[in-house]
Structure 1
Amino acid sequence: MTGRIKKKYILEEFSNSTDLLPEVVICPLCDRAVPKSQRDEHHLIPKSHGGRHTVVLHRICHRQIHATFTETELARQYNDIEQLKLQADMSGFIQWIRLKPDNFFERTRKSRRLKSK
């Protein structure tokens, strides 16, 4: 059994060691580092279709996905990062966003295809 003071010391040492190493998360869509302020979790299969698994993406990448595809399309066809990368609209976006800084954010517009539905 460990004493109260020793537990506090151990917890303090553990928290100090993790603060020294910043957690670097790479966006699987655009392959850029994701700053903490720009992190969004994306359900590969939307929650409305029973999805549970998530991946961390840039906020702008996440919004672009939902501006381009319906939830049904995401559930049926684009439920994998590789499938998203191969889609024409997304590949153009990825080529464009790779040239931007990691913390870049811009307003995302819905695709014309989704607006007409």
Structure 2
Amino acid sequence: MKPDSPSDPLCPLCGRPLGTANIDRHHLVPKSLKGREQFPIHKICHRKIHSVFTEKELLRTYHTWDKLRENADIRTFIDWVARKPPEFYTTTATANSKKRK
């Protein structure tokens, strides 16, 4: 495995290098709500976002990286995942009981 180079792209949520494994694409405005722009993001970071927020919450409040990072649940996750290598992935709890707004 080659070391990360300064030119490696960074995850817009956690700030770690993206690496080459376990990469997803995130729509800041959900695709189902007419969002078009996509961003590469770690799969674990992407799953965390969708386990915390409904699509309507993403549209109304959390449609920027700064707003996402300001959320306490996301901030706790970022602090935890910061110590993991870019390729790290584990399943994340999904919030099946979260309210659909």
What TM-score bracket applies, with the shorter chain setting the length?
A: 0.7 to 0.9
Identity %: 41
Q: Which runs of 5+ in 2 are unaligned?
A: none
**Which is bigger in relative contact order (C-alpha 8 A, separation at least 6)?**
2
TM-score of the pair, normalised by structure 1 = 0.75
Whole-angstrom CA distance in 1 between matches of 2:52 and 2:98: 12
Equivalent AA in structure 1 for residue 42 of structure 2: H
Q: Deviations over 1:2-60 (max 9, x none)?
A: xxxxxxxxxxxxxxxxxxx9x72210111111122221110000011110111111000
Q: Structure 1 residue 116: deviation in Å?
A: 5.0
TM-score (normalizing by structure 2): 0.86
| 4+ residue runs over 6 A deviation | none
Q: Which structure features the higher share of helix residues? A: 1
RMSD over aligned Cα atoms: 1.6
Unaligned runs of 5+ in 1: 1-20
Higher Rg: 1
Task: Name the structure 2 match of 1:60.
Answer: 44
